[in-house]
Amino acid sequence: MEIDKERQKKARAYARKRRHVTLINMGGVSAGLLIILITRWDAGLRDLVRAGTRIGWVSHTLPFLQWQPLAGWYPWQILLYFLAIILFYQLLATPALVYGSFILPRRYGISIQTLSGWISDVGKNFVLNLGLEAAAISLIYGLLALQPQWWWLWTALAMLFFSVVMANLAPILIFPLFYKFKPLPAGKLTERLIKLAASADTRVQGVFTMQMSNKTTATNAALMGLGNTRRIVLGDTMTDRYSEDEIEVVLAHELGHHVHHDIWKMIVSQSILTLGGLYLANLALHQAVEQQGHYQSLTDPATLPFFFLLTALFSLIVMPVGNIYSRHMEYQADEYALQMTQKVDAFKSAMRRLANQNLTEISPSPLVEFLFHSHPSVKRRLQHADTFAEKRYSSLKASLNMPRRVAVSSSEPPGIVNNGSSTPRSAH
């Protein structure tokens, strides 16, 4: 399998347009938040929400909207404010969402999903994220009211716990909402992959296929879950066109993440970054409330746009740092796959086939790779495989050329070289 030059032309154009959509979306949302802050619509929306909850029939029908566990903390009003901000965000982001995740992938032949199917997935994703984000906001502002100096630490610990729980439950609760899974039929490939996992001291609940073919022409494979939910997952767009050797090296890469404890490393590293971001947000919020007097209190709903902008800016700044660490882990997983299987040709063939199928740009600019890519470029991964092969060849050549010594006998003086011995020492 070689790189398809025509598909590479499409891949470069596709990657460029996706970056443009991402940057426009990020810029539009950031500009929207800045406008809210500069024009003081943040305070105006707060006043509107509070006035709405005091309307006679509203306060009579929905009295819980006035619930105030602590002075200045109105949990339900914060959620109403949050909902208004989210709807504003969706209004700004919808054009980029439609173009970037539906029109553009279909134009380049990556997506084959129907409009109704796409709307269904977007809707489920929106509802799921809305629920999780609402719970997170409720937690954060509850801690701001109860622990105004240490809320950032407790929030980071809660998010760490949530990350671990979700890593365990996602394969059985989240992913099935979007894809159908079924066990890979018993046979040579299944046995081979189970054996491969066992050789890496990895217990899995089985090998499953993920139905991707009704949505995309791209493919993927993963080792999903933690503990009792860990399983091998192959896209059905992989099992029908990749050789068993290619599938084996792809899975060996995923097993490399497990052997190196990369899931835990990623959870911990992300938690550390989150902790740092929340601490900086804590300083900025206290400054804005206590020194600048921009808000009535730390739990003022009007602080939400300010908080969102702070977290967005911090995420943008640290994204390259997270990507550097991620690329390092991916490099190590590639090395593990090559060491474990010794199948350099299958590794290179799988990388090329993935690039062709997924319309992946094999050699992005160094700046783009540094800023946006969580994986090494395909070109670097192929070079890694070539370097591995050269080292293996050099090591083998050196071993074959190494003089071999035999045990001292009465007919040979100590230390004599015997290159013709048929019983080389075990060290060789």
Beta strands at 207-210 and 231-235: parallel, antiparallel or unpaired: parallel
Catalytic residues: 254, 334
Element (H, E) at 221: strand 221-224
Cβ-contact 341, 347 below 8 angstroms:
yes
253 annotated to bind ligand: yes
Cβ-contact 209, 178 below 8 angstroms:
no
> Which strands make up the sheet holding 181-183, listed edge to edge?
181-183, 207-210, 231-235, 221-224
Cβ-contact 362, 11 below 8 angstroms:
yes
Tokens of 109: 């032949």
The CA distance from 404 to 412, in Å, is 14
Rounded to the nearest 5°, which phi and psi values hold at 230? -70, 130
The single-letter code of the amino acid at 100 is G
Residue with tokens 């029939």: 57
- For 168-194, give one letter per residue: b (16+ CB within 10 A) or e: beebeeebeeebeeeebeeeebeebbb
412 CA to centre of own chain:
65
The CA distance from 253 to 222, in Å, is 9
The CA distance from 18 to 9, in Å, is 14
Q: Considering Cα of 358, then 265, then 385, then 198, what sign does the dihedral take?
A: negative
DSSP annotation string for 334-385: HHHHHHHH--HHHHHHHHHHHHHHHT--SS--HHHHHHH-SS--HHHHHHHH
Task: Check residue 405 and give left, alpha or beta (phi > 0: left; psi -120 to 50: alpha).
Answer: beta
CA atoms within 13 A on the CB side of 254: 21
The CA distance from 141 to 30, in Å, is 22
Rounded to the nearest 5°, which phi and psi values hold at 232? -90, 130
The single-letter code of the amino acid at 290 is E
The CA distance from 8 to 4, in Å, is 6
Annotated binding site: 253, 257, 330
Annotated binding site for Zn(2+): 253, 257, 330
